[in-house]
Amino acid sequence: MPSPRRIRLLLYVALGALITMLFVSSHFRETKERDTRTIQDFYHKTMNAMDRGGGEKGGGGRQKVVGTHNQGLDDDDEIVAQAMAERLRLAEQKAKDNANAKAPNKPDDPEDIIGVGSSASGQKKKGETKKKVEETDEDHEVEAELTAILKKSPIIIFSKSYCPHSKKAKGILLDKYDIYPAPYVVELDQHHLGRKIQDKLVERTGRSTVPNIMVFGVSIGGGDEMAELDRTKTLAEKLKELGGRRIQVAPRAVNKHA
């Protein structure tokens, strides 16, 4: 059996031989003349040979090859053009879909369009539209009635016949003071548009309860406010401030509450 020393020596010799072989092969590749020929050279040489062959045969060989080559190119161009056209069409459709999705005014859904003939949803929409028209007419009627009431007198007392606060306000304005023109009283619980008129008063004055005393269209309060103005002897001054010379106010010398 070889000794360990001899085995190591053999390994060193084999390694040295391998390195020498690698060095020699690398040097050989560097010094070898490189082949400068390219695929283009091969193509041009091939075409030149075909030209020469075609010239000897009357030029028919080259024409046949070129014709076949161009036909292949035309087919490929047509396929590419069709693919590009399809991509452009898809891109255009996608852009239209995105624009419609972002548009503030989208077309109405079919169920929201008033139909004709046997369109059930359309007939329902017509009924809803008619209801809205009727509500609008009623609003106009309420607005016209309220305007007509406010023209009755510079001072309007919107009251309810059963309301104790309304009775207190009417007792002060009608019994304790001589007011000319006399205040006009509207009992909302007895008026056919009383509820709607009260809703309009809420919109105009912000006051949702009765009584609601208005002087030339301006609310000056309810029963508690009238009692406070009477207690402080400033009611006549307040009415004259809003009405000017168009309202004459004076406390009664003898009244029912004396």
Residue 191: which domain range? 138-251
pLDDT at res. 59: 47
- Whether residue 84 is contained in a domain is answered as no
pLDDT at res. 241: 92
Note the pLDDT tens digit of each residue in 81-116. Answer: 777 778 778 888 887 777 777 665 555 555 555 554
Instruction: Return the CA Rg of the chain.
Output: 53
Query: How far is CA 21 from its chain centroid?
Result: 80
- Whether residue 238 is contained in a domain is answered as yes
pLDDT at res. 42: 57
Collect the ranges in the chain with pLDDT lower than 70.
1-2, 26-77, 80, 102-135, 254-258
Query: What is the biggest distance separating any 2 CA atoms in the chain, rounded to whole angstroms?
Result: 153
- Whether residue 184 is contained in a domain is answered as yes
- Whether residue 100 is contained in a domain is answered as no
- Whether residue 222 is contained in a domain is answered as yes
- Whether residue 211 is contained in a domain is answered as yes
Note the pLDDT tens digit of each residue in 118-154. Answer: 444 445 555 555 555 566 888 899 999 999 999 999 9
Angle at 153 between CA 147 and CA 157, to 5 degrees: 85
C-alpha–C-alpha distance, residues 240 and 47, integer Å: 116
How many structural domains comprise the chain? 1
- Whether residue 72 is contained in a domain is answered as no
C-alpha–C-alpha distance, residues 53 and 47, integer Å: 10
- Whether residue 34 is contained in a domain is answered as no
pLDDT at res. 225: 95
What is the DSSP annotation of the chain? ---HHHHHHHHHHHHHHHHHHHHHHHHHHHHSPP----HHHHHHHHHHHHHHHHHHTTSHHHHHHHHHHHHHHHHHHHHHHHHHHHHHHHHHHHHHHHHHHH-SSPPPPGGGSPP-TT-HHHHHHHHHHHHHHHHHHHHHHHHHHHHHHHTT-SEEEEE-TT-HHHHHHHIIIIIIEEEESPPEEEEGGGSTTHHHHHHHHHHHHS--SS-EEEETTEEEE-HHHHHHHHHTT-HHHHHHHHHGGG-EEEE-SS-TT-
pLDDT at res. 64: 45
Distances from the Cα of 222 to the Cα of 215, 234, 240, angstroms: 12, 15, 18
Residue 169: which CATH number? 3.40.30.10
